[in-house]
Structure 1
Amino acid sequence: MKLTKILTKKLTSFWLLSLVAVAFVFLLCAVMGFTQLTYTFQQQKVAELETMLAADYQQHGNNQFSTWLPPLLTAYNAVDFSLSQGSQLVYQFHRSKADTPSSSLTLYQTQLSHGKLSMTITLPPPFSLHDLGWHELIMLVIGFISIGIFVRFGYGWYSRELDGIEQLALRSKLILDGHLKQAADMPTNGKPRMINRAISQLLAELDDARKERGRLDQFIRKDTFLDKQTQIGNPIFFQNRLDGLSHNQKMIVHGVLMLIEFDDVDLVEDQYGESGVKTMLSLTTQAITAALVQYEDSIFARRSYSQLAIVVPQLSQVEADQLAQRILKICLALPFSGIGNPDNFLHLGCAFFKIADLQVQLVEEAEMALRAAQLQRVNNWFMYDKGALDEQIAKGSVRWRSFIENALVSKRFFTLQQVIVDSDNQILHYEIFSRARDLHGNDVRATLFIPMANKCGLMPQIERQMLEQVLFRLMSENTSTYSINLSLYSLTSRAFVRWLQSTLLEHRPLAARLIFEVSEDIIVKNQKNTSLLKTLDMLRKMGAKLAVDHVGQYVVGTHYIQEYHFDLVKLHRSIVRRVHQRSENQLFIRSLIGGLYRAEVKVIAEGVECFEEWQTLKILGVSAAQGEFLGQRSEV
């Protein structure tokens, strides 16, 4: 852009200089022509005087010169005049000094009457005898004003024409920098208009192609991970998400697994056909989906032809019992008429799981609970009794609020970090995780206190303490880059956003070493939340990078990645888990990376647990990864 403006100014200056030079040449030629014309006219007058002198000498001799020659010489403005015959002076005229012009004079010498007479006359320059009158001055002023107006009009026209070139250069720079929306929003009335219109049309087609690519990507994900009849997760989706909640086949969070099974579905199909079964399943899934909206990270999928599966993490056993009763009540309230045995049609089996429970054992316990519910021969639900539960899970909300508030006051929250490495196994940055300690010095897992902190509205205070530790302790010790997760409650909290903005303004160089991670679920569900989008835009303008994590956890389009200018994309562990054995997950990653082609976005995988997963991810084009295989979490 700077080069374009410099060239524009140079071209404009050259045009003005050329115009001035042409005007100067024309003016110089006019002056020279006027001078030459006056000299020629003076020479003609001198020649006429010579002719008159010669004629008079032949007729009257040298006796009549004094009678008619003085007035004529006065009319000629002659300064000196002498007429001689041989060495004898015939007539001489001399003008007074007062009337003599001060400019240079012109001397004419000639022979008359075949050499009998010689004449010498001195005349002033012919152009010095004329003074400009007021009408001539007016004409000159009008002429110069006309020239100035013409030059100003030409300069304006030239500038307008060149402005179009600069506009094209600016749009081209925006396109090369990846700011396609800003380039498309620029006015297109600049010249050359044909090129502007062509660029606008190409940008519109490119935007439509990107949206179509996003729709294709979403279609691939739907076709791969969603059940075609019910539009909820299929068995592949269910197994992926369940693997994402486990590590080495052991659960990493607590929660509940529910299996819902319909009996006599074949009878319904025989009586109402496939459309009847589809309607029944569609009504059921819609009702259950509405009931699960309030539970974050819940999993709902169709496990088999007549069986649905629900996984709700971060749920206590009391809440799990209440949810099971509510789901059964909702399903039984649906208008299923004409079923063989309405009182023994729907059964629900539940299995509560804790951290470190085996995944295989969990599924077996849920199936055993489902069989126990079916043996009762009535629409019912059954919870598998595991015995003693984790005391931390059993805490009530009041006790959790008291614990979190005390931990905030006494600053008992501390940080863990995990390394993120690129495809060459070089450290890219570190991700920060939070932990808490109770009064006995025992660590409290983030999976336990974060849901409770969200319910109590204390998540912004926790994340503020984490940021303070990163900014004022970790970053002062090294030059590494750190990524920090931010919740929706923090991003939409005015107090937290004001504090974060003022802190980043005060420590502007540190902002470039920060990466703020936001969950894909938050972005997709809050695309119309202006306060959230303004906060993300503010963080980006401060110099920090933005990352969207948990990508692939839900089946949604990925057009938002480039629309909101994210710098990093983190694949959910459910997509990464056993990726070398699952072609569906590989297809999703290829589609995602293909959609981000030419965009300056790095794709990072989280939860890498073995060499085969990491090798497969590198072959697919993933830029970096984190996980137990690449480095465990450590306290800092």
Structure 2
Amino acid sequence: MQLTRMLTKKLISFWMMSLAAVAFVFLLSALMSFVQLTYRFQQQKVAELETMLVNHYQHQSSWDLDTWLPPMLLAYNAVSFRLTQGDELVFEYQGNLGSDQRVLYERTLYGNDAIQMRLELPRPFSAHRLGWRELMILLVGIVAVAGFVRFGFLWFSAELEGIEALAQRSKLILDGKLDEAAKTPGNGKPRLINRALSRLLAELADAHKERARFDKFIRSNTFLDPQTRIGNRLFLQNRLNALSSDQGMLAPGVLYLLEMEDLDILQQEAGDEVVLELLHSTINAINLVLQTQANSIFARRSHNQLAIVVPQISLVEADALADKLLKICLAQPLPKIEEADNFFHLGGAYFKEGDMPEPLLDEADMALRAAQLQGASGWFMYDKGAVDQEFAKGSVRWRSFLENALVNRNFVTFTQPVCEGDGSQHHHEIFTRVRDPMGSLVRATLFIPMAVKCGLMPQIERQVVERTLFELMSDTGNATRHYSINLSVDSLTSRAFVRWLQTTLLEYRHLASRLVFEVTEDMVMKHRSQLESKLNMLRKMGSRICVDHVGQQVVSTQYIRELGFNFIKLHRSVVRQIDLRPENQLFVRSLIGSLYRTDVQVFAEGVGSFEEWQTLLILGVSAGQGSYFGDPQQT
């Protein structure tokens, strides 16, 4: 663009200078022509005088020179005149006009003993002064020329400005800023090309939206139940795998199985519409309850069975939630069928950290059978055994523990590399743990849910940002290393935290470009209107933004373009054993295809094996993170 603008200015300047030069040459030529014409006129008068003198001597005129020559010389405004024949002076005239600018004419008149004529005349215009009329005519001519030059300059500038607008719009398209190019059509000329660009950009935007809808359609048919539009059996299996590792479950929680007894009989007696209406009303009511449970999973396991997984919940809360879910189900209007009070049964299996995921569904099935054996609609929890003592701490004790940790700065940071295909490190993600009074480290999966309940996430994440900026990034050994920091919705909706973060990034502008701020996809979808301005602020400060946990739920990817994310991270449930799961490969291929012609890079988290990484590289993933590249290291 800068080159185009420079060329435009040079072209306009050249055109204006050329036009001004032409006007100047024209005026100069006219002036010189007029001067030469006056000299020619004076020479013609001298030639006439010479002819008259020759005729005088040849025809022996009776007129004496003293009679007719002085009046003629006076009419010529002659300064002096001298006529000699040999050494003899024949006639001499001295005028009254004194002029320093003279023109001397010396002529030899042949045929009469070499008569010599010497005539001095004043230069043309030497005694002439321009009058006001002449000055006015000259001024009008100059103004007219300047006006035409100015008009031509403005017209030419306007025409080239249209071409420059086209060039600027084309530059935006080449830079991938299609939305900005579509929103600023400008006054590009030729207008036909500008309108063609606008139409093509509009059609491209529609194609992108259609691609996003198609991408969502593919994922919907892969992971969603076609009737209820919640997760299917494959979706449930993927999410359970994501909540676990080789060492077992990553956090405590509960798995519920909700079965609707005799749903097949109800379908035969009342029809499909009644069954679908009952399913939709029940699912909508359960969804309202699950909105308060972060990272909950809801899926349809079979025709008459729903599965609910709620991580990071205590046993007491799991019992209360089971009772609430059953009451919601019993509140649904049922058609008149036999044993209507024995229609809903809920079985739950509570798991704690380290439990293996394979037996969970069997335990939940056994709990469901136990609930059915009770003879009426009810719920049953499979295991009320030991619960993680750390997780069972009360809210008051957790608040006191976390506040002391904030005061004593007991939060410890860990970093895990995100590696590209060639093995180089793209950036390091920051993880946080907190040291308890016994010196042990408490994982984020334990203290973050309680920190959210206590409203302490902004203070915790402020310490993480400070430690990253002032310690890790200021270390000369990490002068070129980039870091990513996770931000919660509580922090980004806190005016005090956002104001502090903006001031800090302005103060450390040279470090802001090395920071990547991560937000979860679920958070973006639920709080988009609140987060959009904050994410734009982070991007304007020079930092980059990333959305992680992509693929945990089925949503349109159009938000990635509209919010201007730089990176996305695939959820570990999509990545795990992707080399053995064609449906997950289809999801990743569709996702990357929807981001075609954007600068968004796709990363994968939870990469645990060489086979997974090679499959991801083939699909087009740019970088990976997980145990395959290295476990988190304390800083």
TM exceeding 0.5: yes
Please give the residue correspondences for 1:431-510 in structure 2 after superposition, counting only pairs within 5 Å. Answer: 431-477=429-475, 478-479=478-479, 480-510=481-511
TM-aligned CA distance change 1:93 to 1:246, over 3 Å: same
The whole-number CA distance in structure 1 between the counterparts of 2:282 and 2:453 is: 28
Look up the match of 1:615: 614
| C-alpha displacement of 1:24 | 2.4
Look up the match of 2:191: 193
Describe the superposition over 1:9-42 as per-residue Cα deviations: whole angstroms up to 9, x where unpaired.
Answer: 2112211221122122212221221122112212
Look up the match of 2:33: 33
TM-score by length of 2: 0.96
Describe the superposition over 1:176-225 as per-residue Cα deviations: whole angstroms up to 9, x where unpaired.
Answer: 22222222222422322222222222222222211111111111111111
Look up the match of 1:562: 561
Aligned with 1:396 (options 359, 379, 394): 394
CA RMSD of aligned residues (A): 1.8
Query: Aligned pairs, how many?
Result: 632
Q: SS of the residue aligned with 2:423? A: coil
Contact kept? 1:188, 1:200, Cα under 8 Å: no
Q: SS of the residue aligned with 2:339? A: coil
The whole-number CA distance in structure 2 between the counterparts of 1:117 and 1:623 is: 108
Letter in 2 for 1:161: E
Look up the match of 2:168: 170
Describe the superposition over 1:526-572 as per-residue Cα deviations: whole angstroms up to 9, x where unpaired.
Answer: 2222xx22221222122211111000011101111122221111000
Look up the match of 1:544: 543
Look up the match of 1:77: 77
Look up the match of 1:582: 581
| C-alpha displacement of 1:104 | 3.9
Letter in 2 for 1:290: L
- 1:534 paired to 2:533: yes
Look up the match of 2:600: 601
Letter in 1 for 2:598: A
Contact kept? 1:38, 1:126, Cα under 8 Å: yes
Please give the residue correspondences for 1:72-111 in structure 2 after superposition, counting only pairs within 5 Å. Answer: 72-85=72-85, 87-96=87-96, 99-111=97-109
Look up the match of 2:23: 23
Q: SS of the residue aligned with 1:428? A: strand
Contact kept? 1:234, 1:301, Cα under 8 Å: yes
Look up the match of 2:524: 523
Q: SS of the residue aligned with 2:427? A: strand
Q: Which moved more, 1:21-30 or 1:293-302?
A: 21-30
Describe the superposition over 1:375-413 as per-residue Cα deviations: whole angstroms up to 9, x where unpaired.
Answer: 111111111124121112222222211211121112221
| C-alpha displacement of 1:158 | 1.5
Look up the match of 1:159: 157
The whole-number CA distance in structure 2 between the counterparts of 1:528 and 1:467 is: 24
Please give the residue correspondences for 1:134-153 in structure 2 after superposition, counting only pairs within 5 Å. Answer: 134-153=132-151
Look up the match of 1:45: 45
The whole-number CA distance in structure 2 between the counterparts of 1:64 and 1:112 is: 20
Q: Percent identity?
A: 59
Contact kept? 1:579, 1:613, Cα under 8 Å: yes
| C-alpha displacement of 1:622 | 0.9
| C-alpha displacement of 1:354 | 0.4
Describe the superposition over 1:273-296 as per-residue Cα deviations: whole angstroms up to 9, x where unpaired.
Answer: 223322221221111111211111
Describe the superposition over 1:584-620 as per-residue Cα deviations: whole angstroms up to 9, x where unpaired.
Answer: 1101100111112222222111111222211111111
Q: Which moved more, 1:499-508 or 1:453-462?
A: 499-508
Please give the residue correspondences for 1:218-257 in structure 2 after superposition, counting only pairs within 5 Å. Answer: 218-248=216-246, 250-257=248-255
Contact kept? 1:243, 1:574, Cα under 8 Å: yes
Contact kept? 2:169, 2:185, Cα under 8 Å: no
TM-score by length of 1: 0.96
Aligned with 1:325 (options 323, 329, 332): 323
The whole-number CA distance in structure 2 between the counterparts of 1:43 and 1:146 is: 35
Look up the match of 1:335: 333
Describe the superposition over 1:42-72 as per-residue Cα deviations: whole angstroms up to 9, x where unpaired.
Answer: 2222233234334444666475110221121
Q: Which moved more, 1:189-198 or 1:242-251?
A: 189-198
Please give the residue correspondences for 1:369-408 in structure 2 after superposition, counting only pairs within 5 Å. Answer: 369-408=367-406
The whole-number CA distance in structure 2 between the counterparts of 1:603 and 1:20 is: 58
Look up the match of 1:628: 627
TM-aligned CA distance change 1:92 to 1:496, over 3 Å: same
The whole-number CA distance in structure 2 between the counterparts of 1:319 and 1:428 is: 41
Stretches of structure 2 lacking an aligned partner (at least 5 in a row):
none
The whole-number CA distance in structure 2 between the counterparts of 1:458 and 1:509 is: 29
Contact kept? 1:552, 1:571, Cα under 8 Å: yes
TM-aligned CA distance change 1:226 to 1:541, over 3 Å: same
Look up the match of 1:206: 204
The whole-number CA distance in structure 1 between the counterparts of 2:350 and 2:62 is: 148
Q: SS of the residue aligned with 1:130? A: coil
The whole-number CA distance in structure 2 between the counterparts of 1:611 and 1:7 is: 53
Q: SS of the residue aligned with 2:474? A: helix
| C-alpha displacement of 1:95 | 2.5
Q: SS of the residue aligned with 1:528? A: helix
Stretches of structure 1 lacking an aligned partner (at least 5 in a row):
none
The whole-number CA distance in structure 1 between the counterparts of 2:447 and 2:267 is: 47
| C-alpha displacement of 1:458 | 0.4
Look up the match of 1:5: 5
Contact kept? 1:4, 1:166, Cα under 8 Å: yes
Letter in 1 for 2:75: A
The whole-number CA distance in structure 2 between the counterparts of 1:494 and 1:138 is: 71
Q: Which moved more, 1:458-467 or 1:57-66?
A: 57-66
Describe the superposition over 1:100-149 as per-residue Cα deviations: whole angstroms up to 9, x where unpaired.
Answer: 32114131414266777553322222343433211111111111111111
Q: SS of the residue aligned with 1:569? A: strand
The whole-number CA distance in structure 1 between the counterparts of 2:458 and 2:261 is: 47
| C-alpha displacement of 1:463 | 0.7
Q: SS of the residue aligned with 1:628? A: coil
The whole-number CA distance in structure 2 between the counterparts of 1:316 and 1:183 is: 52
| C-alpha displacement of 1:624 | 1.0
Q: Which moved more, 1:268-277 or 1:404-413?
A: 268-277
